[in-house]
Structure 1
Amino acid sequence: MSNPEPAVLTPEAVPCCPPITSAELPEQDAVRMAAMFKALSDPVRLRLFSKIASHPGGEACVCDIQDVGVSQPTVSHHLKKLREAGLLTSERRGTWVYYKVAPSVVAGMAALLDLNR
């Protein structure tokens, strides 16, 4: 059995699924959510995501978040993976790139795992 390719999401396509205990998760939602959780399963990516999510104003310049113990090209690689999974959006301003957590991502992931609903 082959694993399906991770879904590449645009910021507008961020799933907002009902709690996992409310009904069986449809395959399409499972594939999208698995891609997000897979992207966050790397410690460096999780730290980068956390730095961006907790940064004042809800966005962070790559220049402010690259101190995670890996080289700059590796930081860029991890940020690309987070963007491809639909977790981050980015905007170039001059020579720097600014990142934001994609709209409703954290709430959508939390709602999916809310076992008390």
Structure 2
Amino acid sequence: MEVQYEQAVSQLKALSDANRLMILDMLSCGELCACEILEKMKITQPTLSHHMKILCACGLVLCRKEGKNMFYRLNEQETSRLEGFVHQLFSTSLNCICN
């Protein structure tokens, strides 16, 4: 159970930035090249790399390199797990930490 909390902390910290939330919103439509993300945002390439490093490190985003381009997509398994964890936090349930 504690591992679940630690992993959620890392992912929730990653969500605490408006640019990263915008990136995740864009990726919810499907895989994008870094250049496509940069076109929509008013940030530099090094700043995008910083944000993507955080999102990939916490497991919310997967990346792949094709030639010299980087492509990013949501890690649907992790986003679903985090969604379930947050839902559980705000729900009354038999497996609540207080039981």
TM-score after normalising by structure 1: 0.69
Greater helix share, 1 or 2? 2
* Equivalent residue in structure 2 for 1:49, among 13, 24, 31: 24
* Greater relative contact order structure (CA < 8 Å, 6+ sep): 1
Task: Give runs of aligned pairs for residues 3-22 of structure 1, distance below 5 A.
Answer: none
Runs ≥4 residues deviating over 4 A:
none
Q: SS at 2:76's partner residue? A: coil
Match of 2:31 in 1: 59
Q: What is the aligned length? A: 89
Match of 1:31 in 2: 6
**Alignment gaps of 5+ in structure 1:** 1-25
Q: Aligned-pair distance for 1:113?
A: 2.1
**Alignment gaps of 5+ in structure 2:** 94-99
The two structures, once aligned, show a CA RMSD in angstroms of 1.5
Q: Deviations over 1:75-113 (max 9, x none)?
A: 111001100111111011111111111131222122112
Q: Distance in 2 between matches of 1:78 and 1:70?
A: 10
Q: SS at 1:99's partner residue? A: strand
Percent identical residues: 28
